[in-house]
Structure 1
Amino acid sequence: MKKPNSPENSRQADIVPLKDSIKALLKAYRLQGKLNEVTVVASWEKVMGKAVALKTKEIYVSNSKLFVRLTSAPLKHELVMAKTRVLELINAEVGETVVKEVVFL
């Protein structure tokens, strides 16, 4: 029979799931915001589709604004008309409000 204060039992108390540890690390170093911005840029093709991604020249996030440079004027016009829907899709992909405005260049 093991004692309640044995080293094996105290180790069990220190075990934390990896997911929780990573969240704590991101919070401690204040990296969660930047990670969300990178996730937005990385998931652009997944959210908007291959056709839009092929006509996207540059994409970046600055001050909660998503800047997208496109090579097609008709596509730019189409996306400007659907700006709120694009904003909803992108924030839904990340799971929180990272982008407050989308600017098509």
Structure 2
Amino acid sequence: MPKRHNEHISIKDALKEFVEANNLEKGLDKVNVADAWKKLMGNGVNNYTTAINLQRDTLHIQLSSSVLREELSYGKQKIINMLNEELGKDIIKKLILR
């Protein structure tokens, strides 16, 4: 358990310190990636998205529409760039559509 600081710190800094101390960044990245996908892709794509899974630096997206999967496969790099920009860091290196 980390020592208590006597000086006042903001909630943001305290939470950041807690996340780093307990190695929770990977779990938060998974949640943030799923939220970013839903936000950026909109309702049309989200209706056909059945699973979102981040493993290391690879994002696995499961879609129920083969036509949509084929259409999205043409813009994989653009999707990766949009998601990384939304997240503010380079988390995703590869996108697999299933």
Q: State the TM-score, normalizing by the size of structure 2.
A: 0.88
**Which one of the candidate residues 17, 30, 35 is aligned to 2:28?**
35
Q: Secondary structure in 2 aligned to 1:103?
A: strand
Contact preservation (8 Å) 1:60, 1:68: yes
1:54 and 2:47 equivalent?
yes
Structure 1 segments unaligned to the other structure (5+ residues): 1-12
**Which one of the candidate residues 55, 79, 84 is aligned to 2:77?**
84
Q: Which has the higher helix share?
A: 1
Distance in structure 1 (CA, Å) of the matches to 2:17 and 2:51? 32
Q: How many residues align?
A: 93
Of all paired residues, the percent bearing the same amino acid is 28
Q: Counterpart of 2:83 in structure 1: which amino acid?
A: I
Distance in structure 2 (CA, Å) of the matches to 1:15 and 1:32? 24
Contact preservation (8 Å) 1:67, 1:102: yes
Q: Secondary structure in 2 aligned to 1:92?
A: helix
The structure with more radius of gyration: 1
Once the two structures are TM-superposed, the CA of residue 61 in structure 1 deviates from its matched residue by: 0.7
* Aligned twin of 1:5: none
Q: Counterpart of 1:23 in structure 2: which amino acid?
A: K
Aligned-pair Cα RMSD in Å:
1.2
Distance in structure 2 (CA, Å) of the matches to 1:59 and 1:33? 15
Q: State the TM-score, normalizing by the size of structure 1.
A: 0.82
